[in-house]
């Protein structure tokens, strides 16, 4: 039978051994050194000028002085001086000056890569639970790109489920944006966290926007060309109806030189703060067989109106062309 233990190399008491307390105390010193291992540093290769009994270091490289030749070993200050212990593969040590855990891999001390895949939960500055498996308590959270763009995905199992962002005040819901119960995008608000009102809904089929709770109109201004509706939120929608004139005023009728109407100008009844987003539609009730106006162009959409609005078509005609213009932007 060996006179030393197989794992920590502790000395065994032998039969009829004299001064058993010496062997026993030596083993206790070794246990005291390696159990709950926490060292001052793993980078120093020179022993400190003064050290209290029990001070522990992992000897760095290159080692010199009393530590010469003891690289990567555990140096423990004892009553009789520095004592060195050879680590075994898998030993863990807390490195105080770095605030990290280091592992001896059989050759050197490394920082282990802990497996962070498929965790049951993760809390950063707070605790996670079975519902909130990722919980973060912080002044801000940053999600940035890895060289190009960055997309955040919120997925749900079925159309009847919910995928949304909920904004709370003192843990009580006040606003929600997302897909709640179907696939239409909704913006909801609540005064108490219990009752939510849908302020805006975007239809997933055609993209049309509706205001299920209504929209507060601040003012409606009607002029010679159309109407401007000013909403209390600062949004304004302006419409205009413009007679473009006869479609055979200019051109030869070829695709390269289509018949085109004279230039027309649209003035908004109320100026926008910045140029709005505008769209156009053409009405041309021509006889059967004639080609309708196929496009509308304009030079610019500005805060005060549309400049050089013009209609084009491939055949001449005698009927007037009417253009409907709608613009959306802000009045305040």
Report d(CA 259, CA 246) in Å as an integer.
Answer: 10
Residue 30 backbone phi and psi in degrees, to 5: -65, -40
| Cβ atoms of residues 66 and 81 within 8 Å | yes
Q: Which residue range forms the structural domain that includes residue 94?
A: 36-110
Q: Answer yes or no: is 22 within a domain.
A: no
Alpha-helix residue ranges (DSSP H) falling in the chain: 20-34
Looking at the structure, tell me whether residues 48 and 65 fall in a common domain: yes
SS3 category, 32? helix
Summarize pLDDT for 163-222 with one digit per residue, the tens: 999 999 999 999 999 999 999 999 999 999 999 999 999 999 988 888 898 888 888 999
Confidence grade of residue 80 (pLDDT, cut at 50, 70, 90): confident
Distance set, CA 281 to CA 57, 61, 120, 238, 259 (Å): 81, 79, 56, 14, 18
Average of per-residue pLDDT across 119-125: 93
Q: What is the dihedral of CA 62, 64, 68, 74, to 10 degrees?
A: -70
Report d(CA 243, CA 70) in Å as an integer.
Answer: 96
Report d(CA 63, CA 233) in Å as an integer.
Answer: 73
Q: Answer yes or no: is 235 within a domain.
A: yes
Q: Answer yes or no: is 266 within a domain.
A: yes
Q: Which of 191, 214, 237 is the last residue of a domain?
A: 214
Q: Answer yes or no: is 320 within a domain.
A: yes
**Closest CA relative to residue 74, chosen from 8, 11, 13:** 8
Percent pLDDT > 90 in the chain is 52
Assess whether pLDDT exceeds 80 at residue 252: no
Assess whether pLDDT exceeds 60 at residue 248: no
Report d(CA 307, CA 228) in Å as an integer.
Answer: 18
Assess whether pLDDT exceeds 70 at residue 246: no
Q: Answer yes or no: is 316 within a domain.
A: yes
Looking at the structure, tell me whether residues 161 and 101 fall in a common domain: no
Cβ of 23: how many Cβ atoms within 10 Å? 17
Give me the number of domains the chain comprises. 3
Looking at the structure, tell me whether residues 228 and 321 fall in a common domain: yes
Summarize pLDDT for 281-314 with one digit per residue, the tens: 887 766 555 566 567 888 999 999 999 998 877 7
Out of 8-22, 25-39, 45-59, 234-248, give the one with best mean pLDDT. 45-59
Q: Which of 73, 91, 110 is the last residue of a domain?
A: 110
Residue 296 CA from chain centroid, whole number: 41
Report d(CA 217, CA 113) in Å as an integer.
Answer: 60
**Closest CA relative to residue 264, chosen from 286, 241, 239:** 241
Looking at the structure, tell me whether residues 94 and 198 fall in a common domain: no
């Amino acid at each position: 039978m060996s006179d030393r233990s197989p794992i920590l190399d502790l000395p065994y008491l032998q039969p009829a051994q004299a001064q058993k307390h010496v062997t026993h105390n030596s083993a206790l010193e070794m246990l005291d050194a390696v159990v709950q291992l926490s060292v001052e540093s793993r980078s120093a290769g020179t022993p400190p000028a003064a050290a209290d009994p029990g001070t522990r270091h992992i000897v760095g490289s290159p080692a010199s002085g009393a530590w010469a030749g003891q690289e990567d070993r555990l140096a423990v200050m004892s009553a009789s001086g520095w004592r060195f212990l050879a680590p075994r593969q898998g030993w863990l040590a807390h490195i105080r000056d770095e605030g990290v855990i280091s592992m001896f891999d059989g050759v050197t001390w490394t920082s282990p890569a802990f497996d962070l895949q498929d965790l049951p939960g993760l809390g950063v500055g707070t605790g996670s639970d079975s519902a909130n498996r990722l919980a973060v308590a912080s002044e801000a959270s940053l999600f940035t790109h890895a060289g190009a763009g960055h997309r955040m995905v919120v997925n749900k199992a079925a159309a009847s489920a919910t995928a949304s962002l909920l904004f709370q005040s003192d843990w009580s819901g006040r606003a929600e944006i997302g897909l709640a119960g179907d696939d239409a995008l909704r913006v909801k608000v609540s005064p108490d966290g219990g009752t939510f009102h849908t302020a805006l809904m975007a239809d997933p089929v055609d993209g049309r926007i509706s205001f299920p709770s209504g929209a507060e109109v601040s003012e409606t201004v009607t002029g010679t060309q159309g109407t401007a509706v000013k909403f209390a939120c600062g949004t304004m929608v302006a419409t205009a109806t413009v007679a473009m004139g006869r479609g055979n005023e200019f051109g030869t009728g070829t695709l390269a030189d289509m018949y085109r109407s004279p230039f027309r100008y649209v003035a908004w009844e109320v100026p926008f703060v910045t140029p709005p987003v505008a769209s156009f539609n053409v009405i041309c009730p021509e006889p059967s067989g004639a080609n309708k106006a196929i496009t509308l162009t304009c030079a610019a959409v500005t805060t005060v109106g549309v400049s050089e609005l013009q209609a084009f078509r491939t055949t001449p005609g005698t009927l007037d062309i009417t253009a409907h213009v709608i613009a959306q932007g802000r009045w305040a």
